[in-house]
Amino acid sequence: MTQCCINPSILSADFVNLEAELNRISNADAVHVDVMDNHFVPNLTLGLPVVERIQAVSPVPLDAHLMISDADRWAPAFADAGLASVTFHAEAAMAPVKLARELRARGSKAGMALRPATPVEPYLDMLSEVDMLLIMTVEPGFGGQAFLDVTLPKIRRARAAIDGSGIGVAIQVDGGITEETILRAAEAGANVFVAGSAVYGHQDPAAAIERLREAGRAVLDSASVKP
């Protein structure tokens, strides 16, 4: 069975009761933590000390998405905190290969993210250096945006390149994921799905995760897409 991962974004959670909110999604594959610095994106969320506390109480691994400037300088500290996965933006890294290798050397999986308008082609040759490619399906910086269908061809090109090379790189999508849009993203070749309001907007987030997983898995199994 093809792996279909659902990583809920706590950007849509109740920050006043964050530990309880984490426990409500204990059936998730990972917790997606959006770190924004009010420079790379026009919003400010969580810093390293808060992420470290989340790491200490989370029932599932942490998947950090660093929407920050100067990723080369700051990203390694998140790997040092013990996070399972740390994703930096290619647009914010001066030496992405070096940074990816450093994250891996410090014990985290390395992810590289691309904004919707950033082409994937310049980065195809370095995909063997990362564990995951995050293709943003909305503009980074805010939750609750609508899925951008214009990103689907990029997902398909990335999937074709990954499958053609035989490397085991996951494709994550982030932004506007619902029970409907997950079908299009999975058909295009994504297999890791970040969902915020589609999970925390429901009274039973765990049940929402299962519905998303079932929908995505059905498409991936049908297409025989490999993560």
User: Per the residue annotation, which of 29, 63, 131, 174 is the catalytic one?
Assistant: 174
Provide the residue count of the chain.
227
Provide the edge-to-edge strand list for the sheet that holds 31-36: 5-8, 192-195, 170-174, 132-136, 109-114, 85-89, 62-67, 31-36
User: Per the residue annotation, which of 14, 29, 34, 125 is the catalytic one?
Assistant: 34
Q: Are 185 and 193 in contact (CB under 8 A)?
A: yes
Q: Are 90 and 136 in contact (CB under 8 A)?
A: no
Q: Are 51 and 74 in contact (CB under 8 A)?
A: no
34 in catalytic set? yes
CA pseudo-torsion sign 5, 159, 110, 134: negative
Active site residues: 34, 174
